[in-house]
Amino acid sequence: MSAGLAFSYGSYNFRPRPLMSIKSQPLKTPDGTGYGVVHNISLNGSVLLTGTQITSGILGVSNKIETLKDALDQDGRLLVVSCGDVPVVSGYPTMDGYSFDTVSDNMTRRATYSIEFTMPTTLLGSGNDNFNNGNSFPPFIESATESWDVEFADERTSFDWTLPDGTAEKFGYKLAVTHNVDVKARIAYTGDAVSNVPWKDARDYAIDRLGFDSEVVTLTGILGVPGTAYFSTRDVFNHYRQVSTNKSDGSIKVVETFVVTPEGADSLPNNAMETFDIGLNQSDGLTTVNINGNIEGLATISYTGDGGSQDGYNVSASKFSAASGYYNIIKDRLYDRAKGAYAAVSGACWNRPLSATIRQRAVGINPIEGTISYDYTFDTATTGCITGTCIISQSVTIDDQLDNEVIAEQVILGRAAGPIIQDIGTITARVRTVNVELVTLPPTDCSTVANMYAPVPTGAVDDFIAIISGDLWLSYGQVFVVGQNQTWDLTAGRYTKSKSFKYTNCSS
């Protein structure tokens, strides 16, 4: 070793001069990406009593060891190895460890030591060490991993369904995408006890790797999902981030999740996911078709900022607005969906047309979760008897009380066989009762009776009943109205009317 070399750490000068070794290790990932170089510097030397110090013996050696320990009690002091006034090694290392040995004289005159340092540069001011053809890599990153997971959400692939009215509904596939970025930085001192903040370095490095990568998701030749060659921002929804920061470890982990849908000429919006069930039930002569489903909106979210105070995210379309837009499109198709399912299973006994009148409707809204649920019921009940605006449902029954023989009945006192019954040679008149029940919208104005009855198609009800009574007049010589009443529950929108006719022929 040259006699001109001098060693110091902070204010401590190593005398006699130690032996020094340097091991440099590039930090790389398996794909060759580099994060810089770390230098491991070893100093191996002795603390030695000289001159008058020799008389202090083991106590003097112990004091020198303690003095060296005190010099090593803090990272980031300036380590300098110089030749004359020219530094050969200069930097602010972290101290990895040290050891002392008593050697052969049992510490009466000297003890050996070994000290291990780590620092990112061997020459003060160079900042980053370069390797791989001289390219410069991010400072003080120790490791970084990035992975992508792609799968079909709920194992749903694309399928088409053509409705009876010719509308082609295309339910596109949905991809669930997870993106993991895990970065760890190492500490590096830039001055006496002044260092970088590793977790912030890790954060800044991770920021540039966040966001959607269409090429990784499309995976041509492996997954090869149909649609555009590369997805655009119009296809990516529910972009959420989960961040885990470990300050003491100097690391940060970000998990991003996306829902990806194909954008294109689908008849349904791609910013929502829908599930629905259709059930058919036949009871007596009436078939009921129920369709119920759930719509989950997908939010459109973008992130901005560079890691500083201006960081933020922007929701340009919420889950609920997406669900609402989707429902407003499909609500007018629910009858056609129900009709299509009914037609698929109808047969000889299921051949009545399905009415477009909604018999029952329930809609659930959850703005916080961004979901809308619906439950619609249709049936094959006749709807053409009574016509009018906003008739929700109608029920019409005709009740016939047929003629009966008229008899005389005499009770004889003491006759064990019972009364004497005698046919008197005539019959009773017949009675036909028409019952009409309508459910319509309640009135919005109760200032006059006319306004209260405005929603009720009373004229259409009377016209229908007139068909029944007219047929009786054509067939029988005597027809009389023997009872009629009506009820209007304007709170619930339920109207009923009943009219009874007694009729018979004039001739014998």
Say which CATH number the domain at 92 has.
2.40.30
Q: What are phi and psi of 143, to 5 degrees?
A: -160, 155
The DSSP secondary-structure symbol of 443 reads P
Residues 162 and 262 in one domain: yes
Residue 450 domain-assigned? yes
Beta strands in 220-370 (DSSP E): 236-246, 251-260, 272-283, 286-297, 300-304, 312-317, 360-366
- Does residue 133 lie within any of the structural domains? no
Range with the poorest average pLDDT among 179-183, 281-285, 494-498:
281-285
Is pLDDT at 92 greater than 50 in this prediction?
Answer: yes
Q: What is the pLDDT of residue 126?
A: 55
Please report whether residue 287 resides in a domain: no
Of residues 37 and 338, the one with the higher pLDDT is 338
Does residue 22 form part of some domain? Answer: yes
Does some domain include residue 309? Answer: no
Same domain, 81 and 200: no
Q: What is the mean pLDDT of residues 454-459?
A: 91
Summarised one tens digit per residue, pLDDT across range 51-64 is 888 889 899 999 99
* Mean pLDDT, rounded, for 439-468: 91
Q: For residue 153, what pLDDT is reported?
A: 85
Mark which of 270, 285, 302 sits at the end of a domain: 270
Which one of 270, 286, 303 terminates a domain? Answer: 270
Residue 130: predicted pLDDT: 54
Of the three residues 244, 270, 296, the one that is the final residue of a domain is 270
CB 252 within 8 A of CB 245: yes
**Per mean pLDDT, which of 27-31, 176-180, 232-236, 414-418 is the most reliable?**
176-180
Low-confidence winner among 20-24, 115-119, 262-266, 478-482 (lowest mean pLDDT): 262-266
- Per-residue pLDDT tens over the stretch 279-330: 998 887 788 999 999 999 999 998 875 444 445 778 889 999 999 999 999 9
Q: Which two tokens stand for residue 393?
A: 């449902």
Q: Decide if pLDDT at 3 tops 60.
A: no
Average pLDDT over residues 2-6: 71
Mean pLDDT of 178-199: 86
How high is the mean pLDDT of the chain? 86
Task: Please check whether residues 52 and 153 belong to one and the same domain.
Answer: no
**Number of domains comprising the chain:** 3
For residue 138, which of 201, 232, 192, 83 has the smallest C-alpha distance?
201
Write out the DSSP string of 78-96: PEEEEETTEEEEEE-PEEE
Residue 115's domain spans which residues?
A: 5-119
Both 49 and 156 in one domain: the answer is no
Q: Tell me the average pLDDT across 474-501.
A: 93
pLDDT value, residue 227: 53
Among candidate residues 185, 158, 175, 306, the one with its CA nearest the CA of residue 249 = 185
> Is residue 149 domain-shared with residue 225, that is, in the same domain?
yes
Place 226 in a pLDDT band, splitting at 50, 70 and 90: low
**Do 229 and 160 fall into the same domain?**
yes
Position 2 confidence tier, pLDDT thresholds 50, 70, 90: very low
What whole-number distance in Å separates Cα of residue 118 and Cα of residue 94? 5
In a domain, 382, yes or no: no
User: Are both 193 and 225 inside the same structural domain?
Assistant: yes
Contacts of 291 (CB under 8 A, 6+ apart): 276, 277, 278, 279, 334, 337, 338, 341, 374, 375, 376, 377, 378
Same domain for 154 and 111: no
Residue 135: is its pLDDT beyond 70?
A: no
- Count other Cβ atoms within 10 Å, centred on residue 254: 20
| Domain match, 247 and 155 both | yes
More confident residue, 61 or 192: 61
Mark whether 96 and 43 lie in a shared domain: yes
Whether residue 36 sits in one domain with residue 153 = no
pTM of the model: 0.74
- Residue 296 CB neighbour total at 10 angstroms: 20
Residue 130, in any domain of the structure: no
CA dihedral 252, 299, 372, 357 (to 10 degrees): -160
| pLDDT tops 80 at residue 193 | no
Higher pLDDT, 372 or 25: 372
> Which range, of 69-73, 406-410, 498-502, averages the lowest pLDDT?
406-410
Q: What is the pLDDT of residue 38?
A: 85
Question: Number of helices and strands (H, E) in the chain?
Answer: 7, 28
Neighbours of 168 (CB within 10 A): 10
Is residue 310 in a domain? no
Residues 265, 167 share a domain: yes
Closest CA to 232 of 268, 260, 209, 207: 260
